[in-house]
Amino acid sequence: MVKLTETKIKESALTLFIKKGYAGTSLTDIGKEVGIKKQSIYTHFKSKEDLFLQVMNQVIQEEIAFLNDYFTNQKHVSLHDILYHFIKKLKERFISDGEENIKFLLRMMFIPPNRIKETVISKALTYYDQLKNHIEHTFHLHKDVINVSVEAGKISFLNLFDGLLVELIYINIRNFEKRFQISWNIYWQGIKK
């Protein structure tokens, strides 16, 4: 029962942090969502900050597992398709109703709560470091199809990726799609042999 309540608190907190942000979400809001009093949350978490950071840790672990799974299952796929479909998959997950983790992670990476900004950014970088490692490894495996160094391929992809995330988070999906298609075509033409 205790574990079930803790899980429900985390799930409700995740949803509310996405909708209202860290500052706009109160423990009272979370308690109402779960069907418990605010004071009951303190049985499981020391504070809103503690709850937020535990949610973030869980999200990062799950998103790193997603990265590991995605890149592990791409062994016999072309470099073009691995990178292109990674961006497409991230976009699809971001706009999907059932994918809360990626929404939370991206929003917190780009708009971290002021009070715990340094901690949040530090934790988010563990995810980003794993992404960089996967991208670099992918370029190493496919270095025979590119006309740039592995390092240049990795950095240029991550710059393209970061720019597209800004479009996805701050603007809208239509602009993202247009920017992605145009940028991707130029990017791919620039790095392929």
Task: Output the pLDDT for position 172.
Answer: 85
The answer on 15 and 109 residing in a single domain is no
> Domain span at residue 112?
49-191
Give the Cα-Cα-Cα angle 136, 107, 153 (nearest 5 degrees). Answer: 20
The answer on 141 and 73 residing in a single domain is yes
The answer on 77 and 28 residing in a single domain is no
Cα separation, 147 vs 150, whole angstroms? 9
The answer on 156 and 85 residing in a single domain is yes
The answer on 173 and 155 residing in a single domain is yes
The answer on 128 and 83 residing in a single domain is yes
CATH code for the domain in which residue 6 is found: 1.10.10.60
The answer on 156 and 131 residing in a single domain is yes
The answer on 125 and 110 residing in a single domain is yes
The answer on 92 and 62 residing in a single domain is yes
Task: Output the pLDDT for position 48.
Answer: 96
Task: Output the pLDDT for position 2.
Answer: 56
Domain count, the chain: 2
CATH code for the domain in which residue 120 is found: 1.10.357.10
The answer on 167 and 123 residing in a single domain is yes
Task: Output the pLDDT for position 5.
Answer: 85
pTM over 0.75: yes
The answer on 89 and 28 residing in a single domain is no
Task: Output the pLDDT for position 75.
Answer: 81
Task: Output the pLDDT for position 171.
Answer: 82
Query: 10-residue block means of pLDDT along the chain (193 residues)?
Result: 79 94 94 93 94 96 96 93 97 90 91 92 95 97 96 97 91 90 96 95
3-state SS of the chain? Answer: CHHHHHHHHHHHHHHHHHHHHHHHCCHHHHHHHHCCCHHHHCCCCCCHHHHHHHHHHHHHHHHHHHHHHHHHCCCCCCHHHHHHHHHHHHHHHHHCCCCHHHHHHHHHHHCCCHHHHHHHHHHHHHHHHHHHHHHHHHHHHCHHHECCCHHHHHHHHHHHHHHHHHHHHHCCHHHHHHHHHHHHHHHHHHHEC
The answer on 90 and 35 residing in a single domain is no
